[in-house]
Structure 1
Amino acid sequence: MSERCFLAIDLGAESGRVIAGLFDGQRVRLDELHRFRNGPVDVAGTRRWDVLRLWTDIQDGLAKAAEKYGDSIVSVGVDTWGVDYVLLSKHEELLGQPYNYRDPRTTGMIEYATSKVPRSEIFAATGLQFIPINSLYQLLGMQQKDPELLASADRLLMMPDFFHWLLCGSRVIEFTNATTSQCLNPVTRDWAVDMLRKLEIPTHIFPEVVSPGTKLGPLREEVARATGLPRLDVVTPATHDTACAVAAVPTSHTGRANWAYISSGTWSLIGVEVQEAILGEEALAQNVTNEGGIDGTYRLLKNVMGLWLVQECRRSFERAGRSYDYEELTRIASEAEPFKALIDPNDESFLSPADMVEAIQNWCRSHGEPVPESDGALVRCALESLALKYRQVLEGIERLTGEKVEVIHVVGGGSKNALLNQLTADACGVPVIAGPTEATALGNVLVQARAAGEIGTLADIRSVVQKSSELETFEPAEKAAWNDAWERFTALTR
């Protein structure tokens, strides 16, 4: 068959892209049409997203798609990071500049929420990891900081759903991103209304929840006119970028929890795929999360701070007049002394520090660890600590599922970091299969292709990814040294 074109709008915390996915029925290839910068904007002591500039860049990318692929384009869909949202008034006016999840207004909101509703009750109602960035704590922060704005809201849309509204006028939320909010019940798969009411969060703002692959409607006439596109279908992929990435994990073991994934980027999301949310006391004690996936699956996982640690070290080095690309950072880390210093990557001091180098060094001082001084030592500290955190998370998840993880698939931009891949294999003691780098875009495109009737099951999607990708395997080594490091790490993170 001839290639059919599906457009993926993929927005990450550092950049956004408009990508064409060309699918011939057996393999898919990607063509990046437009890349643009993204990132938080500091405004008067707050941290926001510049969604209007993102929308301008998206339209520029769509115009390039129209010029290159024209009538062969079938549909378009958006995926983004989770937890952040936009509020609309009843007249569909944008209420305020949307907040970035690292905005400090969530400080203390977990404690506030659990003072009103027991922690166990919140977990039973949502199945989500307690982490300050969640939409629930953002809403509570807004409730206290700006109650008038929240009271004016008629509709809450998660970030990808907001861009779908701009594209076609839909006012719904797709399931996978809804599950990142800590406002959705994983059993009923609808909003946790009773819990939200106890926290005095207005429930009328939460719209209908739809499944991945839902056709939302045709492109707005004015958008089609501005970009040169036909009024093609707007389709929800799995709108949470990690759900897209996990859909594109090149495994043949769909339906089993004996393989794990790490969606590696600014955040590392590490977990397994299960058929039902895992709740209960042990899951609560481990502070794991149950996020939605394709075909009603759940991603039993934990959020780990990820390559944010390295990205922010790089910014610190640049401020000091030392510029590196990521390949150079990996090289100097590989040359640094192993296990010089270890940190807990998920310590809240690393969530949004003024200077990551100082944050790492201060953490080491306060916990009796040797202080890394050189740039290579700092990056190696971050990477080795991440690998050990992955092991810690996986061992906990294995206890919950009763299945031993036999292989780890690393997907996303972080899969290009060969040093971290090898450290992960060494720390966890199982092979690591790296790739594809573009798992999120592949998942987005192939869910759209399935909505168009071009592909069948989730297993079929993964088979296409296997045929379309170059993968690299890292075998574990150096067991004794890592076991020593593991004992030290667990003592630091109790």
Structure 2
Amino acid sequence: MSSRSAEPVRVAAVDLGATSGRVMACRVGARTLHLEELHRFGNGAVPVQGSLYWDVLGIHREVLVGIREVARTGRLHGIGIDSWAVDYGLIDRDGRLVANPRSHRDSRTDGVPARVRKAVPDAELYGVTGLQQLPFNTIYQLVSELGTPALEAAERMLLLPDLLTYWLTGEVGAERTNASTTGLYDVRTGEWSQELAERTGLPLSLLPPVREPGAVVGPVVAEVAEYVGLHDVPVISVGSHDTASAVVGVPAGEESFAYISSGTWSLVGLELGSPVLTAEARKADFTNETGVDGTIRFLKNVMGLWVLSECLRTWADRRLRDVTLPALLAGAADSPALRSVVDINDPQLLAPGDMPARIQDLAREAGEPVPRTPVAITRTILDSLALAYRRNVRLAASLAGRDLDVVHVVGGGAQNALLCQLTADALELPVLAGPAEAAALGNGLVQARALRQLEGSADLPDLAAMRALIRRTHDVRRYEPTGGLDWDAAASRVG
């Protein structure tokens, strides 16, 4: 073991979201865990001729800028990337990008799940993948491309963090936690499903070798090394699905816990040792995704703060005065509770657009009082999210046979005090909120462990030890349920 293994390491944790990306310097030691944001950039799908694309070359450029800044401000020992799931780029036999990746919110998968269902019935698909059958899962995106020049020219499909890792290292692969979100991964065997590929008409050769979270992919290629100003910096395959990294970053102790990764999407679930593949889990549309260290993330994708973000964008476009997030949250806290609630998972809320009008339409269709002002619409969204959290945390616990002591909320939603209090009230359980940067912390911790292993250390921290370090170094806010509201009656109004 070299002397460095006993010293803190400093890594670049690249954390990409569907609306923004950040590059963080993460310093990890035996008693040290510190994040510093050194580069932030805007992100978002770009509409072109009726389709939604990711500006993936622009994302790559910003990632390089951020890594260079981490290297400029101190020693850099490693690089890891996490991002949202399901979206991908296709590369040809020469390793070149075939076309700009499409956004999962693009309409090209309309009707595709029904086509796939004819080849692979839902029960059979779930029995292999254990995956929530969302209309934008990778399997449906790929099937929508069958017969197109892009897919015909493709040699490999690379999920977005794997594509960016490929551009950094020249190495092709599919990190396991993200591969498990595609609908083509066999959660029972931990390998790509040849049967599903054949039955849907997709070439199995399109799917790259699976690699583990914590694997050292390789050093940066020459052009990256020259740009960054450093050579021989390893790129490490972290839990590249941001939720996998965020669950590593849950500061759980020995309590039985549920987690809510609350951001653009909300991912609500449990950490288990094996998948739940029952008919009841399938009917409830729960997903079994692989986590770090062989864990299973048994969870449900719930519409998240995307809805409120889209409302803010719409109100900004209309140049409404004094419509800021702090003002809306302050006003919502003083508004009547549970006056209007809607199904926050309604498909009408998936695509970009006039979100305030859609919330009003859903309320009208459900026979609820129609929220008329930005503050009232904000309160409707937060109450409805808390109801969705209540329903799905309880359902996850029931399906997995778990009793719960506490709910951990991580991600951006951990900073929303009103939403956290509503969640505690709705679930009648304590909520521990924070850290907001759980994904970046999980990213950095997995990198630090991989670097120690690379140097030959036999003393490698497990998930419990990594979470204990987060508890020692980061503040978590506790919300106790207050009672006084009839959440059962509100839940019956949503259906």
TM range (shorter): over 0.9
Corresponding position of 1:483: 488
Counterparts of residues 453-492 of structure 1 (less than 5 Å) = 453=452, 455-489=460-494
Partner Cα distance (1:332, 1:266) in 2: 22
1:36 alignment partner in structure 2 = 41
Q: Please state how far the C-alpha of 1:21 moved relative to its aligned partner.
A: 0.6
1:272 matched to 2:275: no
Question: Which residue of the partner structure matches residue 229 of structure 2?
Answer: 228
Deviation at 1:480, TM superposition (A): 4.2
Shift of 1:113: 1.1
- Aligned pairs for 1:8-407 within 5 A: 8-69=13-74, 72-143=75-146, 147-253=148-254, 258-322=256-320, 324-407=323-406
Q: Which residue of 1 aligns with 2:3?
A: none
Between the aligned partners of 1:92 and 1:479, the Cα distance in structure 2 is 60
Range with bigger deviation, 198-207 or 107-116: 107-116
Q: CA shift at 1:75, angstroms?
A: 0.8
Say whether the 8 Å CA contact 1:62–1:229 is kept in structure 2. Answer: no
For the 8 Å contact 1:429–1:479, the answer to whether it is kept is no
Identity fraction in percent:
40
- Structure 2: which 5+ runs fail to align? 1-5
Structure 1 distance, partners of 2:46, 2:112, is 22
- 2:25 and 2:383 mapped to 1: Cα distance? 36
Give CA deviations for 1:143-187 in whole Å, capped at 9, x if unaligned. Answer: 2xx622112110111110011101111100000011111110000
Please give the per-residue CA displacement for 1:220-258, whole angstroms capped at 9, x wherever unaligned.
Answer: 1110111112221110110010000000100113xx8x3
Q: Deviation per CA, 1:104-140, whole angstroms, max 9, x where unpaired?
A: 1111111121122111001111110011121111112
Once residues 167 and 325 of structure 1 are traced to their aligned partners in structure 2, the CA distance between those partners, rounded to angstroms, is 38
Code of the aligned partner of 2:103: N
- Asked if 2 retains the 8 angstrom alpha-carbon contact of 1:335 and 1:376, the reply is no
Q: Can you list the C-alpha shifts for 1:7-28, whole angstroms capped at 9, x where unaligned?
A: 1111111111111111222121
Cα separation, 1, equivalents of 2:19 and 2:324: 15
1:3 CA displacement = 3.0
Answer whether contact 1:309 1:356 (CA < 8 A) is retained: yes
- Partners in 1 of 2:116 and 2:328 — Cα distance? 40
Partner deviation per Cα, 1:280-322 (whole Å, 9 max, x = no partner): 2111111100111111101000000110111111112112222
Q: Is the 8 A contact 1:27 1:465 kept in 2?
A: no
1:392-411: CA deviations, max 9, x gaps? 11121122111122210000
Q: Secondary structure at the match of 2:486?
A: helix
TM-score normalised by the chain length of structure 1: 0.96
**What is the rounded CA distance, in whole Å, between the counterparts of 2:67 and 2:14 in structure 1?**
9
Map of 1:426 onto structure 2: 425
Q: In the alignment, is the contact (CA less than 8 A) between 1:168 and 1:218 conserved in 2?
A: yes
1:210 maps to amino acid: R
Please state how far the C-alpha of 1:353 moved relative to its aligned partner.
4.5
CA contact (8 A) 1:289 1:301 kept: yes
Q: Secondary structure at the match of 2:73?
A: helix
Conserved? CA contact 2:10–2:26, under 8 Å:
yes
CA–CA distance in structure 2, aligned partners of residues 68 and 470 of structure 1: 26
Indicate the residue corresponding to 2:450 in structure 1.
Answer: 451
TM superposition outliers: structure 1 runs of 4+ over 3 Å = none
**Residues 77-98 of structure 1: per-residue CA shift (max 9 Å, x gap):** 1000001011000111101110
> Could you tell me how far apart the structure 1 residues matched to 2:352 and 2:99 are?
25
Q: Whole-Å Cα distance in 1 between the matches of residues 8 and 166 of structure 2?
A: 28
Shift of 1:2: 4.2
Count of paired positions: 483
Mean Cα deviation higher: 470-479 or 382-391: 470-479
Alignment match, 1:4 = 9
In structure 2, how many angstroms separate the alpha carbons of the residues matched to 1:353 and 1:169? 34
2:463 partner letter: L
Secondary structure of the structure 1 residue equivalent to 2:250: coil
AA aligned to 2:400 is T
Partner of 2:11, secondary structure, is strand
Which amino acid in 1 is paired with 2:206?
A: I
TM-score of the pair, normalised by structure 2: 0.95
Aligned equivalents of 1:16 and 1:122: distance in 2?
A: 33
Residue 437 of structure 1 corresponds to which residue in structure 2?
436
For residues 260-298 of structure 1, what are the alpha-carbon distances to aligned partners after superposition, in whole Å with 9 as ceiling and x for unaligned? Answer: 000010000000000011102111111100111111101
Q: 1:17 is aligned with what amino acid? A: R
Q: Is the 8 A contact 1:221 1:231 kept in 2?
A: no
Q: What SS class does the counterpart of residue 275 from structure 2 fall into?
A: coil
Tell me, yes or no, if the aligned pair for 2:270 and 2:397 is still in contact at 8 Å: no
Question: Letter of the aligned partner of 2:326 in structure 1?
Answer: E
Alpha-carbon distance in structure 2 between the residues aligned to 1:7 and 1:131: 32
Q: CA deviation at 1:204?
A: 0.8
Flag the 1:171–1:58 CA change in 2: closer, same or farther, 3 A. same
